[in-house]
Amino acid sequence: MPSLGEQFRAAREARGLTLSEVSEQIRIRSVYLSEIEAENWSAIGAPVYIRGFLRTYARFLGLDPEEAVGEFNKTQAAAPVAEVRTPAGAGLDHLRERSLSPLIWVATAIAAILIGFVIYNYVQLQRQRAAGPAPVATPTVLPSYAATASPSSPAEGTPGPSPSGGPLASAPPAAPHSLALTLSAPSWLRVVVDGNVSMEGTFPAGTAKEFRGKFAVVRVGNAGGVQISVNGKPVGKLGAAGDVVERTFTL
């Protein structure tokens, strides 16, 4: 039976794709895809990142993502503990230096990634504040308001007062040709409406956007943190946390 890496390589080559082409589609660096096919797990990083990459790559190639993660877990459980041999004449300090150096590099890399992520989000937030509030669509009349209007009101059909004190128009149906996004967790997003890029970048939790058009292509970098509604009907999440997913919607 071919190894896990060989299965990924065979599936990719059967589609006639290069590592660079796959990288552009699923937003995972080609060097990581190459290490997956070579099963060089230590070059990728912590197992939690490897499992996320495996799921995304497997879905793209049409493989079973959970089976791929299961095969990877078996390699981790069966991996022998590396024996650390101290050269003749070397002391305890040398042994500690050799055993701790990889951990220090891994910890440094993770810390750098986290710091970069925080700085990037902070810069994006400052830019949004400088540009003014984001154009979040908020319906002026909710369907529940229309239900409170009595057909036999004393004003002979005149709309009653709204919660804000002004006249209340009859509630319109859900806006046609619309797509709405709401983020419950930070995520990278790219939204193309009728062939035009309407939104792209990394956005914080709480971001909400609405788009109008005939069709939309939505790509998310954290599918578990993005809720989608089409023409007022909830679609829900496109995948699990950390998944990179792209969907096309007809509005």
What are the distances in angstroms from CA 218 to CA 62, 124, 128, 248? 20, 20, 21, 6
Q: What's the pLDDT at 152?
A: 43
Nearest CA-CA partner of 41 in 12, 84, 3, 11: 3
Check if the beta carbon of residue 55 is closer than 8 Å to that of residue 65: yes
Q: What pLDDT, in 10s, does the model give residues 39-60?
A: 999 999 899 999 999 999 999 9
Q: Is the pLDDT of residue 198 over 50?
A: yes
CA-angle at 13, arms to 7 and 16, nearest 5°: 150
Check if the beta carbon of residue 217 is closer than 8 Å to that of residue 246: yes
Among left, alpha and beta (phi > 0; psi -120 to 50; other), residue 201 is: left
Q: What's the pLDDT at 1?
A: 72
Q: What's the pLDDT at 182?
A: 94
* Residue ranges, CATH 1.10.260.40, the chain: 4-78
Q: What's the pLDDT at 145?
A: 37
How many angstroms separate the CA atoms of 122 and 127, rounded? 9
Q: What's the pLDDT at 136?
A: 52
How many angstroms separate the CA atoms of 230 and 236, rounded? 10
- pLDDT grade for 118, boundaries at 50, 70 and 90: confident
The highest-level CATH class for domain 4-78 is mainly alpha
Check if the beta carbon of residue 249 is closer than 8 Å to that of residue 201: no
Q: What pLDDT, in 10s, does the model give residues 50-101?
A: 999 999 999 999 999 999 999 999 988 765 544 434 344 334 444 454 455 6
pTM: 0.33
CA-angle at 242, arms to 13 and 104, nearest 5°: 95
Q: Which positions ≥6 away from 204 have C-beta within 8 Å?
A: 121, 124, 125, 183, 186
Q: What pLDDT, in 10s, does the model give residues 130-173?
A: 776 555 555 444 444 333 344 444 444 444 444 455 444 454 55
